[in-house]
Amino acid sequence: MLRVINADITKLWLQGKTVCVTTNGFTRKDGSGVMGRGNALAMAKIIPELLICLGRHILNNGNVVGFIYDRVIVFPVKPIVGKSEQALDRVKHL
């Protein structure tokens, strides 16, 4: 059963839990993924290879949800393309 809690993502991962990391869905010229700030930056600090794993995931699968590392699920929150109708009400102005 899925349980959503408010906690430090790095501590949860270090305790053996599976975590979901929000990402930008873009890659750099070197092939590494762009993790952004917040929980993604926190996880990238304790697992530096996440950037490469994310880049490989985007290259092989596209900007989609999936496992990129042991117990780390990537969850893209910034689509590269899309229609404004697909956006949340609070970001339709973009």
- Report if residue 3 sits inside a domain: no
Name the pLDDT band for 93 (thresholds 50, 70, 90).
very low
Nearest to 68 by CA among 12, 7, 11, 19: 19
- Report if residue 70 sits inside a domain: yes
Query: Total structural domains in the chain?
Result: 1
Contact 56, 31 (CB under 8 A): yes
- Report if residue 5 sits inside a domain: no
CA gap 83, 22 in Å, rounded: 20
- Report if residue 86 sits inside a domain: yes
pTM: 0.73
pLDDT in tens, 61-83: 988 899 999 999 988 887 555 55
pLDDT in tens, 22-33: 888 888 899 898
Tokens read off for 87: 């956006």
- pLDDT over 90 at 6, yes or no: no
